[in-house]
Chains A and B, each alone.
Chain A
Amino acid sequence: MRHTLRETWSGLRRNLAMNAAVVVTIFVSLTLFGMGLLINRQVDVTKDRWYDKIEVSVFLCVKDSSSGNCDPGQDATQPQKDAIQAALRKNPEVQQVHYESKQQAYDAFRETFKDSPLLDTLTVDQMQDSFRVKLVNPEQYKGVVAEAGVMPGVQAVVDQHLILDKIFSALNLLKWGTVALAGLLLLAAWVQIANTIRMAAFARRRELGIMRLVGASNWYIMMPFLLESLLTGVIGWALASGTLLGLHEFAIVRNAQVSLSSLRWIDRADVYGAIGWVAVAAIGLSIIPTLIATKRYLRV
């Protein structure tokens, strides 16, 4: 054991510059990898929250409406409303339908825009009644929108998903960009570790040859190399973990959460989860290339 530790230490010192470079590469690639995981988590959290709340609104024709499938100057008739409601209820993608009358819309408007001067000029009659539709799976909304959109008496179908989708596609791009970049850097780290260990093994090939000759076990020969790369991996992981925690603290806890408090943001536990996965990556990243690189010197 003492020999193993001494060899590990001397290997680290001999290759200090190389090992420092390896630590930096591991650190950056693991940080990016962790960020990719956290962005992914944030997208999920946000989706859950938003998709849960939002509905598809089917606005009905009123006297003033001119667009859509309306007869000019007329409210949607009761048979039209019944037909629309029946169609929505029959749709398997729909979970719940409720009718919002003009009065309800008016009350909701007053509640939302309490301080607006517009309020005084607005009458119940000017409001539009609508069906509010909750979906079974909030991501499957296109069928409902298409079906309701062509029915007589429907002025417009407003779907909040359309706005959200733009945000999510931007977030997805960010997520995949980070993952791709992390992947490239992880690959670079892999090659760099394999190369560093191969050089270290080459520098010690005389000793390794004698060790094999006198019958040292493979584990004994390999251990210093494994410990060396594991140590660089752990240091890189620790730096990456600190960075991820710091980023979360400054970017989200002290910044985004304050200014956009209505959104749900990833919490500490999510960061710890990502750090756990990053640890798995760090261990694999340090051990597997080392095993491959030293195999040649251990062939019996």
Chain B
Amino acid sequence: MITFEDVTKLYEGSTKPALRGVNVQIEKGEFVFLVGQSGSGKSTFLRLILREYRPTKGTVFVLGKDLNRLAGWKVPGLRRQIGTVFQDFRLLPGKTVYENVAFALQVLGRPTSEIKKVVPETLDTVGLASKGARLPEELSGGEQQRVAIARAYVNKPKILIADEPTGNLDPATSVGIMKLLDRINKTGTTVIMATHDSTIVDQMRRRVIELESGQVIRDQSKGVYGTA
């Protein structure tokens, strides 16, 4: 599903590579935690999957495609199969919850009849069925993140990428978000989540990939946050 082959990424103007000789294979339906300190290369890892950048060296394969050879105009097609969630939610403040989720389908040109059917279903999945008419600012942080997850998931992506999705949330709310991501994973969606939250990683007992200075120093199934 996702393969990194000897991937090195050196940002322009930097001497230290953000990723160095990374080899990782992620299978369909896996739930993977990406851990490591700030600046260890987690975000770069995720951005290479989204093809926001190309690797300086090595090859990234996503959904059977060599991203080095993927033409620029085909990148939107790739991203339609990848849902993305961020720490800061990135909702549109002027649009209601319903509209925020529907937006993701509208910009793909989906018919209104489909949008009217799928969006309430997805809001129901994330537990916000009754809040479709609210504006993001009227919601709690946890609820806003659920909206963001609904938006990422509404198109039924094959891969869900989450960059510190619980970073702004309190522990109790975070548990709820993790349950939601777990449920999405159980439908067959591959979930890759970068996090600093050791409690969550230790509780979930899923595959853990630890990065340090751009290198994979640990890749453990049913792992915990720290090695100690």
A: residues with CB less than 8 A from B are: 3, 206-207, 209-218, 220-221, 300
Cβ of B90 and Cβ of A216 under 8 Å apart?
Answer: no
Cβ of A214 and Cβ of B78 under 8 Å apart?
Answer: no
Cβ of B92 and Cβ of A217 under 8 Å apart?
Answer: no
Q: Which 4 A-B pairs have the closest CB atoms?
A: A215-B80, A215-B79, A216-B107, A300-B75
**Cα distance A3–B106 in the bound complex, in angstroms:** 8
Cβ of B79 and Cβ of A210 under 8 Å apart?
Answer: no
- The contact size tier of chain B is 20 to 34
**Chain B 47-81 residues near chain A, CB threshold 8 A:** 50-52, 72-73, 75-81
**Cα distance A121–B90 in the bound complex, in angstroms:** 102
Cβ of A300 and Cβ of B103 under 8 Å apart?
Answer: no
Of chain B, the residue at the smallest CB distance from A1 is B109
Residues of the A chain whose Cβ atoms lie less than 8 Å from the Cβ of B51: 300
Of chain B, the residue at the smallest CB distance from A214 is B104
Residues of the A chain whose Cβ atoms lie less than 8 Å from the Cβ of B82: 215
**Cα distance A212–B80 in the bound complex, in angstroms:** 9
Residues of the A chain whose Cβ atoms lie less than 8 Å from the Cβ of B72: 300
21 residue pairs A–B, Cβ–Cβ below 8 Å: A3-B107, A210-B103, A210-B151, A212-B76, A212-B79, A213-B84, A214-B79, A214-B107, A214-B151, A215-B76, A215-B77, A215-B78, A215-B80, A215-B81, A216-B76, A218-B76, A220-B109, A221-B107, A300-B51, A300-B52, A300-B76
**Cα distance A17–B77 in the bound complex, in angstroms:** 37
Cβ of A220 and Cβ of B90 under 8 Å apart?
Answer: no
Pick from B52, B76, B82, B152 the residue with the most CB of A within 10 Å: B76
Known: A214-B104, A214-B108. 17 other contacts (CB 8 A): A3-B106, A206-B90, A210-B104, A214-B107, A214-B151, A215-B77, A215-B79, A215-B80, A215-B82, A216-B76, A216-B107, A217-B76, A218-B73, A218-B76, A300-B51, A300-B52, A300-B75
Shortest beta-carbon distance from A209 to chain B in Å: 7
Pick from A210, A215, A217 the residue with the most CB of B within 10 Å: A215
Shortest beta-carbon distance from B108 to chain A in Å: 6
B: residues with CB less than 8 A from A are: 50-52, 72-73, 75-82, 84, 90, 92, 103-104, 106-109, 151-152, 155
Shortest beta-carbon distance from A224 to chain B in Å: 11
Shortest beta-carbon distance from A143 to chain B in Å: 62
**Cα distance A221–B72 in the bound complex, in angstroms:** 15
Residues of the B chain whose Cβ atoms lie less than 8 Å from the Cβ of A212: 76, 79
**Cα distance A122–B107 in the bound complex, in angstroms:** 92
Pick from A3, A207, A213, A214 the residue with the most CB of B within 10 Å: A214
Of chain B, the residue at the smallest CB distance from A207 is B92
**Cα distance A212–B77 in the bound complex, in angstroms:** 10
Q: Knowing A3-B106, A220-B107 are in contact, say whether A214-B73 is a contact too (CB < 8 A).
A: no
**Cα distance A210–B91 in the bound complex, in angstroms:** 8
**Cα distance A212–B51 in the bound complex, in angstroms:** 11
Cβ of A210 and Cβ of B75 under 8 Å apart?
Answer: no
Shortest beta-carbon distance from A267 to chain B in Å: 48
Residues of the A chain whose Cβ atoms lie less than 8 Å from the Cβ of B108: 214-216
Shortest beta-carbon distance from B118 to chain A in Å: 14
